[in-house]
Every structure is written in structure tokens, then in C-alpha cells.
Amino acid sequence: MPIPHRPPAALLPLTTPIRKQAARPTSFNVIALLPLLVLAGCASQAPAPPVPPVSPVPQPAPAQQTPPASRTQPPPSAPSVPAGFAAFDAAAYVLLGENGAAVARVVLDAPACPAITVDGASRPMALRAAPATLALRHNPAKGDAKPSAFPLRTCEAGLPAGAASASVLGRALPLPRALPQRIVVIGDTGCRLKKSSNEYQDCNDPQAYPFAAVAAAAAAWKPDLVVHVGDYHYREVPCPDGSAGCAGSPWGYGWDAWREDFFRPAAALLNAAPWVVARGNHESCERAGQGWWRLLDPRPLRTGRDCIDPARDRDGNYSDPYAVPLGGDTQLLVADTASTTWKGLKPGVPGYEEYRATYRGLEALSQRAAWNIGITHHPVLGVGAELKDGKLDWHLGDTGLQQSFGSLNPLLLPPGVQAMLSGHVHLWQQLSFSSPHPTQFVAGFSGTAEDMAPLPATLPAGITPAPGAVPEQFSNWIGGFGFMAMERGAPGEWTVTVHDRHGAVKNRCQISGRRSVCSVTQVQ
């Protein structure tokens, strides 16, 4: 039986006065890269303590178009940009991968990779992926499809630990901090164009598709780190004729759809801090996996793991988990769950042994630190619901992961994991348990159309995300878009705030060990 929610008096009400805070300029805008690219050849646990108030953030001013730069012709071997170069056909960002290794990545339209300057020393970036048009991946379940065109070059360079500065094409890159204090969590950010369920989000309407506003507000919150819990790409099919809401949207799995679904709206947040990226089911090989490996996965790109050859999808669809140290005996554990399924995974089917291996990897990694925060796109311990015939049809924790992980541990997750961050369910949610399960947060509310039915303030008797999991605290927000933020406290403690698309605080929570509690059970 679920334990009724009892919000503690220690948590501050949402009416607590909040201090004013000036927004940090979100200086990187991909439009501004255009003149710089033209010149590139010439530039070388306990009762929860009171939650501290968090300021709402002002809306940043619209980005200003940079005047055209000089048409100086660079040497033939240096990166150059043709006169017809599109303003948003460029991106620069920093990813954190295995053991927290930082990699700077640039996507640009140029005949060669640019140089990167680290602590005043210039060196070349390496080519990760050359421009290419990749053959059509047959996927009858997705309806329309076409070859994936990636006309831009993806370049990268590892950043040494402790680097004080780094820049590329004249733009400063955000560098990782040894002890990040402020973390933004977002997920499910693309604009949904889905033929099979006749779902066509109004990608042209910033009210209906607000990811750009969410990203700008999250950037103005001044994070030290950004965590994306997966599903970046949703523009899979053409907008229907006569639909003004998405008219003209690119579609398919090539760069043009990736640009509009992720790199353009996320520009301010990509410039604000390094990112930790989890892979979602929308980035599986038969969907947007080719772009995932070219653009976002922080590990080296190798033949066979690039989702190009369908015969090698077993390599491309599964990858080992890794740890990102956060200092203070705390780390993130990032797991690739792109190919799990709510239908379940039984012995002998693809994915079962792969996810058993994922569990073993998570368990081994978790022994490196006292406090572990797991990241999986699919929530092992979350819930959602749809309305069918006027009744709630409950979606419980991911069955595929529960069956594969559960074959090794009935509690589903390693004992060293205190909290889980996930997406996939298009809402914000918190669950804490009286059973020895880690607290679960779901942050799939940052841009994609939200299709979950309203949930009750208290879980009904018999509803639990997994066998043996006993919910003790439950909070949710359905129908609103925004981001989640985490601020470090004492060891094993984090203050969580839930922000709307403009940065206003809608809920406050406290993580202490494996338990969490929020001040509002149901955000309206």
C-alpha cells in the first residue's frame, strides 16, 4: 500500500520571498559564428533541511544578428565558409564522457577542421565525421523516410583536466568544474512529428514548442553542468499539407532536422556549461542513431557502432555505462537504454543479455563513490498514465529494464545508487520509497508535446512502478514545460527546484540519501 504523502514543515512554501538575481549573458549564439567562421583561416540522508530560495530568471533579450564580416580569403588548407553558408549551420559545445573526460566538439560547413586554443596554445581538432549522405534505413513502422544528409563536418578535441580556458573560432568554450554546484536537468526536447499516431506538434509556435525558451531560461540560471536525459530528435516525418503549425519543418534523420530540433533551440544552453548526454529511444539505430553517434555521444566514433550498417546494429544500439565524477565522493552513472522496451525482455531476445551487462557495469562503477546518481532515459521506477474509455491506463516502470536488471538484483538497481534521473514519460515527476529503492525523478517535460493524462496527487492502492517498490512520497507536474535544477548541499544531499519555461519556480524538493520529498504534491 502506498504511504500517504506528508509534506514536511521544513520545506519552504512556494510563497517564500525570492531574491532578485541578474542573469548571466548567454553569449554563444550560433548566428554569431558566421562571421567568425569566415575568418577562421586567419584565427588560429537525515530530515531534509529547509530548501533555500531560488530566484526566477528574467527572459534573455532576443539574439542580435551579427553584421557580415570581412570576406578575407583564408589559405586553401584552413577552414573556410562559402558565401551562401547558412547562419545556423554551425555549433560548438563541450561534452563529458567516461571518467569525466571533456571533449570539445564543433559542427561546421568547412573543408577542414579548425584549430582549438587551450590555455593559449593552439592545436588542430580531429575529424570525427566527414560530410556524408547516409543510405536510407528501412523502417516501415515510421512511415515516410529518406536518406540522412549530414553536409557538415564534425570535429573534436579532448580537453585536458584543469584547463583554464579553451576557445574555437574565437568563441570561449564552457569548461567543466571539479565540484559542480548547480546542475540543470532537461529531457525529451524535440518537436513531435509522428505519422503512426497522427501527432503533429506546432513546431513553428513557441508556445506549443517552447524548448528554445526553456533552454534560454535554464542558461540564465547559470548552471555548472547540464544533464539531458534523452530524446533529442522527434521530427521524423513531413508536416501534413495545410498544417500551418509545422509547415516548412525539416524532417527525417539528417542534419537539418537535428539542427531545428536541438542545436538551434539549445544554443544558449550549449554555451552555458558542459553537457552530460543520455541516449533515448529516439536515438536508436533505426531512428536518429546515426546523428547520435556523429554529433552527441562523447566516446570515440568507430565503424560498426555508427548505425550505418543494419547488420551491425547490435554494436550500434548498445554501449557500456560510464561514470562522470562530480567531486565530493559523488558521481553520475550514465547508461544507454535506447533499445529497451516496455513489452519486456526475456532470456534469449536481443537486449536481455546486453542490459544484464549494463547492470553489472553500473554496479562496478557505483563502487567508486559513496554517492551515485544514475541516468537512464527510460525510468525504472517512474509512472505515467493515458486515458482510455474514461479511465487511467497506467504506464509503470520500464519492463525491459526491470526484467533484465531484476534477474540480477530484485531491487533493480545497485545498492550504491541513491537517485535516478530519467525522461521518456512526458511530464515532471518525483517518487521516493520506503522500500530500499533509490528516489526517482523524471524530467521529460522540456519541449516535446506532453501526452500523459493528469495523475492523482496520491498513487492509488496497488499502483507501484515495480514489484516490491513501496511509494512513500509522490509529486508530479503534467501539462507544463520547463527544466529541473539541482544544487549541491551536504554529502548525499541536493536541493531540487522545478522551473517553468520562463524560469519561475513551481516546486521545491530535497534529496537526502535515497529519500526525497517535495513541497508540492501536484503542480497546477
Global confidence as pTM: 0.85
DSSP string across 302-339:
-TTSSS-SGGGHHHHS----EEEEEETTEEEEE---TT
Strand arrangement of the beta sheet that strand 493-500 belongs to? 126-129, 153-159, 102-108, 90-96, 275-277, 225-228, 182-186, 482-488, 493-500, 505-512, 515-518
CA–CA distance, 161 with 176 (Å, rounded to integer): 8
Residue 285 in grid coordinates: 539505430
CA–CA distance, 400 with 404 (Å, rounded to integer): 6
Exposure letters 356-374 (e unless 16+ CB within 10 A, then b): bebbebbbebbeebebbbb
pLDDT for res 135:
85
CA–CA distance, 158 with 163 (Å, rounded to integer): 11
Contact status, residue 454 vs residue 404, Cβ threshold 8 Å: no
State pLDDT tens for residues 475-508.
999 999 999 999 999 999 999 999 999 999 999 9
Tell me the mean pLDDT in the region 133-159. 85
Tell me the mean pLDDT in the region 190-210. 94
With 0-12 / 13-18 / 19 or more C-beta atoms within 10 angstroms meaning exposed / middle / buried, residue 467 is exposed
Contact status, residue 180 vs residue 224, Cβ threshold 8 Å: yes
Query: Regarding predicted confidence, which is higher, 195 or 172?
Result: 172
Q: Is the pLDDT of residue 79 over 50?
A: no
Angle between helix 399-406 and helix 352-366 axes, rounded to 10 deg: 70
Longest CA span, the chain: 72
CA–CA distance, 132 with 307 (Å, rounded to integer): 14
Contact status, residue 499 vs residue 482, Cβ threshold 8 Å: yes
Contact status, residue 143 vs residue 195, Cβ threshold 8 Å: yes
- Please, which pLDDT band fits residue 141 given cuts at 50, 70 and 90? low
pLDDT for res 142:
59
Give which of 467, 462, 450, 516 is closest to 489, Cα–Cα: 516
Q: Is the pLDDT of residue 5 over 80?
A: no
State pLDDT tens for residues 259-273.
999 999 999 999 999
- Secondary structure of 80-104 in HEC code, one letter for each residue: CCCCCCCCCCEEEEEEECHHHCEEE
Angle at 197 between CA 292 and CA 214, to 5 degrees: 50
What residues are paired with 474 via a beta bridge?
Answer: 431
pLDDT for res 66:
36
Share of the chain above pLDDT 70, in %: 82
What residues are paired with 156 via a beta bridge?
Answer: 105, 126
User: Residue 420 has what DSSP assignment?
Assistant: E
State pLDDT tens for residues 326-367.
999 999 999 999 999 999 999 999 999 999 999 999 999 999
CA–CA distance, 22 with 12 (Å, rounded to integer): 23
Q: Is the pLDDT of residue 39 over 90?
A: no
Element holding 499 (H helix, E strand) = strand 493-500
